[in-house]
Copies of this chain bind each other. A is one copy, B any other.
Amino acid sequence: MPATPVKSDIEIARAADKKSIWEIGKRLDIPGESLLPFGNDKAKVSAGFIEGLKDRPNGKLILVTAINPTPAGEGKTTTTVGLGDGLNRIGRKAMICLREPSLGPCFGMKGGAAGGGYAQVVPMEDINLHFTGDFHAITSAHNLLSAMIDNHIYWGNELDIDQRRITWRRVLDMNDRALREVVAALGGVANGFPRQGGFDITVASEIMAILCLSKDLKDLQQRLGDIVIGYRRDRNPVTCRDIKADGAMTVLLRDAMQPNLVQTLENNPAFIHGGPFANIAHGCNSVVATTTALKLVDYVVTEAGFGADLGAEKFFDIKCRKAGLHPDAAVVVATIRALKMNGGVAREDLAAENVAAVAEGCLNLGRHIANVKQFGVPVIVAINHFLGDTGAEIAAVKEFCAEEGTEAVLCRHWAEGSAGITELAEKVAELADEGHSQFAPLYRDEMSLFQKIETVAKRIYRADEVLADKTIRDQLHQWEAAGYGHLPVCMAKTQYSFSTDPNLRGAPTGHGVPIREVRLSAGAGFVVVICGEIMTMPGLPRQPAAETIGLNEDGEVVGLF
């Protein structure tokens, strides 16, 4: 059994006894020639191999989600990795599916996104840096379309694009606030027609969402073509297909569409593929990775972004709806510390035992449990153990959950690896095997866009009302008239609260959900509903992590984690 970590995540990751990626592939019966290696510890699984899996039965699909995040940390990715290792430890054939981390934020605040302690995926440095180049490919494809739009206008604007109504921006995988709003095409005749635009971070690109929702290359190109880049003078939408960019973009994304195989510290297989924002997009790894994993193993553990109000809702209502997935069980991750913060404790007071605050914070947990159950999916709670947690605090959570008809299991995977999470693994496998899931999305395609928004706001956020002015409602009606009414909605709000006020922790009621803006992601296939300030291009802090990142004498990366 591994020692309790006193080592940092990166130290543990570097000490990993990695197997070659061909060995990992072999465990999944993927022949060597169907792996496209990137170094000896990462590989893409070829589209041809994936095509050949179609007729196999699916394994069980397990979602890992969480309470509303707090600065105290919940360890959702760590628990996903731990649960995958735990299932393998108890003799089940399992793999995990995670999102790829974004490069830009690595240079802002310290911290990677590949799990932690003894529940990590490796090689963590590569995963957090360029990895297999998927995000770079998305950046290129996105900006090719941008360049072709301005080029179309430059050469005569045959499509009569209204330059004031171009909604397609540019992207970079970098935290660069100076690019949020720019006026481009300055400098005279040779540079085109000046107009205001801007850059988002690559994870906010609609192409990221499209790549993650596409079944195959054909579906990808169809969706790319469907992107609405703006509107004509007559207000009719202009698509990427009109610009004739969809073919070249598909070529740029061909390799990126193939899922990336890596391994956990315990040499269990993991797909890490795609990483859309969890607010303006659906926040899940790719459909291709998940559906492929379901053909390869008996249990697939995957996660969704942020808390269950955002992440699980979108996983169910967008990803599962679109891809025809049928989740068999869900795990809601909580920590004693995060529950305390949801119960009103300040960050600096977290060390002291506070059973009352834990109990108060459990109202947040309870609502997430009830929400997941609304989708018909059996749920279990994972208490991700931290060193300072007391027995009384843990007992309070278990008791609360028992009253809610749900079991809560203490997990020590961070400190102990799979050995610390066998109880959860046994129970999750049992839950999934029972076949009690009666999954259904929350709302039907046929409902109006506004009804869909109301349904999520009232049934998931427990709001009293949705506030939207006439412009917003008119826009939704216009899209319905244009044939986009059947799309699901993708809610973008703060992840820190059920409400749109990040300071309202716990289980607030009586609030309204004000809609600030709606956006059409016609290629990804959803309508984004923005409630509150949503930042799609982060900035760097006063002392960016980049200032202390470098290579040490041994050529190893320091300062990144």
Residues of A within 8 A of B (CB): 33, 36-40, 47, 103, 107, 129-130, 133, 136-137, 139-140, 143-144, 146-148, 150-151, 154-155, 170, 172-187, 190-192, 196, 198, 217, 221, 244-248, 250-252, 254-255, 539-540, 542, 544-551, 555, 557, 559-560
Contacts and interface: CB of A to CB of B under 8 A. Distances in A.
Contact of A155 (B129, B179, B186, B542): B542
Contacts of A221: 550-551
Given A36-B39, A251-B549, A251-B550, A151 B184 contact: no
A557 B251 CA distance: 7
A154 B177 contact: yes
Instruction: Count identical subunits in the complex.
Output: 2
Contacts of A148: 107, 540, 544, 546-547
Contacts of A38: 36-38
A174 B147 contact: yes
Nearest to A250: B551
25 contacts: A36-B39, A130-B136, A130-B255, A136-B136, A136-B140, A140-B173, A143-B172, A143-B174, A148-B547, A151-B177, A151-B539, A151-B544, A154-B178, A178-B184, A178-B191, A181-B185, A181-B186, A182-B184, A183-B183, A244-B547, A245-B547, A247-B548, A248-B545, A250-B550, A251-B549
A191 to B, nearest CB: 5
Interface SS, A side: mixed
Given A37-B37, A250-B550, A546-B144, A184 B179 contact: yes
A150 B217 CA distance: 39
A187 B217 CA distance: 38
A369 to B, nearest CB: 37
Contact of A190 (B155, B177, B245, B254): B177
A300 to B, nearest CB: 26
Given A147-B178, A251-B557, 11 more contacts: A33-B40, A36-B38, A133-B136, A144-B546, A155-B542, A180-B187, A181-B185, A182-B186, A244-B548, A247-B548, A247-B549
Given A36-B39, A137-B130, A183-B183, A174 B247 contact: no
B555 A47 contact: yes
Contact of A174 (B140, B185, B246): B140
A557 B217 CA distance: 12
Given A37-B39, A130-B133, A140-B173, A251 B180 contact: no
